[in-house]
């Protein structure tokens, strides 16, 4: 167990907190000095991302998802987690407070048994600050698509070209909608974030002013993986949820923001507006463009934990919430990747959600340290919003889930409060 036998472990040497946007002087001054100016060209690079992830709407065009007509407050039952010691791997330990202090945290919230027990803000962020969630967006897209399937508007067994004839001659055309949901469709695509020549870099370029746009980018993806047929292996591809987003728009007749508001956001009791980053043609990025506040992200996770309900309102069908929480597709998960993380830390991917090994937990994950973690066994939801300098690293991909598992195990060991 993560919380046991820690006396022999190597303690975590408290690191200096990474400087925040204000300490760095980003976007300060009249005019802003050139080396402190955050632009569309450097927004994802460190240290500029310490400012940009909380200010995407000031850099790119976005489409709003309004807050719920009547926000529902979240109950509170504070628990002091700062001194809780957890194992980070390789024999190292840290307290929650110290680890958050050094892990490029912008905001962190823990819910247990439906109440906020811990909430923390850093780097100038506050309760009303929207934060870019990157690929956490995919899990919202997956939840909407599952709802449309439950309503009979989309059949997951049909192929993509049945809904989007524009993609008939692409790698997506003969993949089923469910294969795209699970990212087991065969497509040759390089998702190397720090390579300017990779496919994912060209995807981002399509989003920029003057870019070709998301739909044109999808229509140019024609090649499949030579050794894998559709359905054989999980292969993480950000354009997959863009295909799903296009289908959602097609069958509902709504923008993705309107569908999000109708199916989820207005019913969830949200207190703040969310927004989608849109391409030059006004198409929302369904795979990585959603910005939202910490508490509203927690509301979404708690609703899924509570069988699709929030404040007595049935937001998602119970079958959809249950499906999201149920691990599946283990056999396809590790066939493509040689990285031991695929199997040792995460154990499956389905419906645009990740599953973790050894715990009854699923998560929505985004690069640079974005998480919505749902642990059904311990009745815990955790949200982390971050501006880590790297898209992927051990701190983001391995340490963070260990910390979350440990917090969930600790809270699960506490007695329920007296009613």
Candidates 160, 135, 367; CA nearest to 238 is: 135
Residue in 15, 41, 20, 110 with CA at minimum distance from that of residue 387? 20
Q: Among 41-55, 263-277, 331-345, 367-381, whose mean pLDDT is lowest?
A: 331-345
Residue 269 pLDDT exceeds 60: yes
> What is each CA distance from 207 to 60, 140, 198, 256, 289, in whole angstroms?
9, 20, 15, 16, 10
Assess whether pLDDT exceeds 80 at residue 8: no
Q: Distance (Å, rounded) from C-alpha 315 to C-alpha 269?
A: 10
Q: What is the largest CA-CA distance in the chain?
A: 61
Average pLDDT estimate for 124-135? 98
Using 50, 70 and 90 to split pLDDT, how confident is the model at 194? confident
pLDDT surpassing 80 at residue 105: yes
Strand order in the sheet with 10-11: 10-11, 92-95, 85-89
Question: Is the predicted pLDDT of residue 145 greater than 50, yes or no?
Answer: yes
Q: Give mean pLDDT, residues 47-64.
A: 98
Average pLDDT score over residue span 185-209: 92
Q: Which tokens belong to 341?
A: 């993380």
Residue 324 clears pLDDT 50, i.e. is over it: yes
pLDDT digits (tens, 9 = 90+) for 161-184: 999 999 999 999 999 999 999 999
What average pLDDT score do residues 365-381 get? 98
Residue 261, pLDDT score: 98
**pLDDT greater than 50 at residue 4:** no
Q: What percent of the chain has pLDDT over 90?
A: 92
Residue 10: predicted pLDDT: 43
pLDDT in tens, 380-399: 999 999 999 999 999 999 99
Of the candidates 62, 53, 66, which has an alpha carbon nearest to the alpha carbon of residue 27? Answer: 53
pLDDT class of 7 with cuts at 50, 70, 90: very low
CA distance 246 to 241: 8
**Does residue 12 carry a pLDDT above 70?**
no
| Mean pLDDT in residue range 146-175 | 98
User: Where is pLDDT greater, at 1 or 38?
Assistant: 38
Residue 285, pLDDT score: 98
Q: What is the pLDDT of residue 2?
A: 34
183-198 average pLDDT score? 92
pLDDT at residue 11 greater than cutoff 60: no
What are the angstrom distances between the C-alpha of 89 and each of 194, 332, 373, 393? Answer: 26, 27, 19, 14
Model confidence at 17, pLDDT cuts 50, 70, 90, reads: confident
Q: Which domains are seen in the chain, by residue range?
A: 85-412 (3.40.710.10)
Among residues 395, 320, 386, 403, the alpha carbon closest in space to that of 139 is found at: 320
């Amino acid at each position: 167990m993560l919380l046991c036998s820690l006396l022999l472990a190597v303690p975590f040497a408290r690191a200096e907190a990474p400087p925040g946007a204000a300490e760095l002087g980003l976007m300060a001054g009249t005019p802003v000095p050139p080396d402190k100016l955050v632009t569309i060209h450097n927004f994802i690079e460190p240290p500029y991302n310490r400012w940009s992830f909380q200010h995407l709407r000031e850099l790119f065009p976005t489409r709003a998802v309004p807050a719920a007509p009547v926000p529902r407050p979240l109950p509170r039952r504070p628990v002091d987690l700062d001194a809780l010691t957890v194992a980070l791997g390789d024999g190292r330990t840290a307290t929650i407070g110290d680890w958050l202090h050094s892990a490029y945290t912008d905001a962190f919230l823990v819910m247990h048994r439906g109440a906020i027990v811990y909430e923390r803000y850093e780097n100038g962020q506050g309760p009303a600050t929207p934060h870019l969630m990157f690929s956490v967006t995919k899990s919202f897209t997956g939840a909407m698509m599952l709802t449309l399937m439950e309503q009979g508007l989309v059949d997951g067994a049909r192929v993509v070209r049945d809904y989007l004839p524009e993609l008939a001659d692409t790698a997506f055309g003969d993949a089923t909608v469910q294969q795209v949901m699970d990212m087991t469709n065969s497509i040759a695509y390089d998702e190397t974030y720090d390579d300017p020549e990779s496919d994912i870099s060209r995807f981002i370029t399509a989003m920029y002013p003057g870019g070709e746009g998301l739909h044109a980018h999808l229509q140019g993806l024609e090649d499949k993986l030579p050794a894998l047929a559709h359905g054989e292996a999980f292969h993480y591809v950000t354009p997959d949820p863009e295909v799903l987003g296009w289908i959602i728009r097609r069958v509902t007749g709504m923008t993705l923001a309107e569908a999000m508001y109708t199916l989820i956001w207005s019913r969830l009791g949200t207190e703040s507006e969310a927004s989608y980053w849109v391409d030059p043609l006004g198409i929302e990025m369904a795979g990585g463009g959603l910005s939202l506040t910490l508490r509203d992200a927690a509301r979404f996770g708690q609703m899924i934990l509570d069988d699709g309900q929030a404040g007595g309102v049935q937001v998602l069908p119970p079958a959809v919430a249950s499906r999201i929480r149920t691990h599946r597709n283990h056999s396809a998960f590790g066939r493509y990747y040689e990285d031991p993380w695929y199997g040792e830390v995460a154990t499956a991917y389905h419906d645009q959600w990740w599953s973790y090994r050894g715990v009854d937990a699923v998560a929505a994950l985004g690069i640079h340290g974005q998480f919505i973690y749902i642990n059904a066994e311990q009745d815990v939801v955790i949200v982390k919003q971050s501006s880590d300098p790297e898209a992927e690293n051990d701190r983001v991909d391995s340490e963070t889930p260990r910390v979350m598992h440990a917090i969930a195990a600790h809270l699960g060991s506490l007695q329920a409060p007296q009613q």
